[in-house]
Amino acid sequence: MRCSKCGKELPNGASFCPNCGLALSPGGSLIVVTTPTIPGYKIIKVLGVVTGLSPRTRGVLGKFVAGIQSMVGGEVTSFTTELEKARMEAIERVCKKAAAIGANAVVGLDLETSDIGLQAGVTVVSATGTAVIAEAE
């Protein structure tokens, strides 16, 4: 399988392109929405809150490149890919937890980022949603 953005060959089971960072489908057959309802579906049962965390940092070289880019201004591309990976991992973890408790959908997905502090340069992406069983109306 190839990335639809850059054309690079993707490793099996990849959730993002390692070359350009393009996000691939995180939920598989699970329906994942940020809204409280799914158009065309009726929520039969609420199974509970599911969460996923993904802490990320850049290595020394990535931090060096980011430092240079921040002096020039504009997008800090060395962090863009890492944040995209973290977002996809957090969503994947929500989906795995939802599937493990029997859900076929996640509603109300919320994504947040924060700095872990301690001057460590670690950013945490948190995904939270409600695992539900939904059926087509």
Assigned domain for 92 exists: yes
Residue 3: the pLDDT is 67
Q: Which of 1-10, 49-58, 91-100 has the highest mean pLDDT?
A: 91-100
Residue 43: exposure state from Cβ atoms within 10 A (0-12, 13-18, ≥19): middle
Amino acid at 98: A
Assigned domain for 107 exists: yes
CB 68 within 8 A of CB 98: no
CB 125 within 8 A of CB 83: yes
> Which pLDDT tens digit goes with each residue over 61-117?
555 555 555 566 666 666 777 888 889 999 999 999 999 999 999 999 999 998 876
Choice between 20 and 114, residue whose per-residue pLDDT is larger: 114
Residue 107: the pLDDT is 97
- Determine the Cα–Cα distance for residues 24 and 14; give it in Å rounded to an integer: 8
Residue 20: the pLDDT is 61
Q: For residue 105, give the CATH number of its domain.
A: 3.30.110.70
Residue 44 pLDDT level (bands cut at 50, 70, 90)? very high
Residue 40: the pLDDT is 93
Assigned domain for 2 exists: no
DSSP label at residue 35 = S
Mean pLDDT over all residues of the chain?
A: 80
Quote the domain boundaries for residue 67. 31-136
What are the residues facing 112 on neighbouring strands? Answer: 126
The total number of structural domains that make up the chain: 1
What share of the chain has pLDDT > 70, as a percent? 66
Assigned domain for 20 exists: no
Other C-beta atoms closer than 10 Å to the C-beta of 70 total: 12
Of 127, 130, 131, 128, the residue nearest 104 (C-alpha): 131
List, in sequence order, the alpha helices (H) in the chain: 60-72, 77-100
Assigned domain for 3 exists: no
